[in-house]
C-alpha cells in the first residue's frame, strides 16, 4: 500500500485512507475514512467514516422557544462532612501563599519608605527629642530598629507563626464542624443553573 506525505497509508483501489489521530502525544485508535464512490455526488452529506456532517441534536434541548421559557433547575445539598486531612492541606497552602504575599509586601513597603527617607527623618526627630544641650538623655539607639534585617526577620517570624496557626485552626475547625454536623445536621447549600 502506498504511503502519503503525512505518513498515513492509502488504499488506492478502494479509496480509503487509514488515519491515526494523535492527542496529547498518545496515538488513539486508527479510523478509516471512506471517500464517496462515483454514484455518490452529494458532497454535503459525506463525512469521514460515513458519519453525517450535521451536528447531532442534544437530547436535553427542546425547541428554541421552549428552552428559553424553562426556569433554571435547583439542587438542595447538605454539606455533611469536611475531611480534616483535606482541610489541613488546603489551609496550609493558602496560609503559605499569604505568608509569601505578606513578606513581599513588607519588603516592597520598606524599600519605598527607605527610599523616601521616612526612617531617617524619624531617627532625627527622636534624636532631637532625646538630646538636651548636646547630651543624649536616652541610651536607646533607635536607628537599629529600622534596619532591614530585623524588620524582615520579624516579618518572617510572624508569617511562620501564622502558617502554623491558620493550618491548625482550620483543621480543628473541620473536626468541630464534623462533630456538630453529626448532632444537628450539616449546612444546607442550594445550587442553581446559570441563566
* Most trustworthy range by pLDDT among 43-52, 64-73, 123-132: 123-132
Average pLDDT for 43-63: 49
Phi, psi of 119 (to 5 degrees): -65, -40
pLDDT band at 167 (very low <50, low <70, confident <90, very high): very high
Q: Which stretches does DSSP call E strand in the chain?
A: 9-11, 16-23, 26-34, 74-79, 131-132, 135-136, 187-192
| Distance, CA of 184 to CA of 178 (rounded, Å) | 10
Summarize the confidence of residues 148-167 as an average pLDDT: 94
Q: How far apart are CA 192 and CA 195, in angstroms?
A: 9
- pLDDT score of 128: 78
pTM of the model: 0.55
Question: Would the pLDDT of 20 be above 90?
Answer: no
SS3 at position 134: coil
Measured CA to CA in angstroms, residue 168 lies from 94, 98, 172 at distances of 13, 15, 6
Confidence at residue 155, expressed as pLDDT on a 0 to 100 scale? 94
Amino acid at each position: 500500500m502506498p504511503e502519503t506525505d503525512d505518513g498515513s497509508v492509502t488504499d488506492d483501489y478502494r479509496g480509503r485512507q487509514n488515519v491515526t489521530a494523535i492527542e496529547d502525544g498518545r496515538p488513539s485508535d486508527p479510523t478509516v475514512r471512506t471517500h464517496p464512490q462515483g454514484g455518490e455526488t452529494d458532497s454535503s452529506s459525506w463525512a469521514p467514516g460515513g458519519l453525517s456532517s450535521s451536528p447531532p441534536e442534544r437530547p436535553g434541548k427542546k425547541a428554541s422557544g421552549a428552552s428559553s421559557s424553562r426556569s433554571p433547575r435547583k439542587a438542595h445539598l447538605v454539606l455533611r462532612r469536611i475531611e480534616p486531612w483535606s482541610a489541613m492541606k488546603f489551609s496550609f497552602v493558602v496560609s503559605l501563599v499569604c505568608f509569601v504575599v505578606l513578606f513581599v509586601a513588607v519588603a516592597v513597603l520598606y524599600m519605598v519608605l527607605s527610599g523616601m527617607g521616612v526612617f531617617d527623618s524619624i531617627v532625627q526627630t527622636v534624636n532631637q527629642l532625646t538630646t538636651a544641650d548636646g547630651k543624649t538623655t536616652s541610651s536607646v539607639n533607635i536607628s537599629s530598629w529600622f534596619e532591614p534585617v530585623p524588620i524582615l526577620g520579624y516579618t518572617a517570624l510572624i508569617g511562620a507563626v501564622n502558617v502554623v496557626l491558620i493550618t491548625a485552626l482550620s483543621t480543628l475547625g473541620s473536626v468541630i464542624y464534623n462533630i456538630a454536623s453529626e448532632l444537628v445536621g450539616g449546612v444546607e447549600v442550594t445550587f442553581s443553573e446559570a441563566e
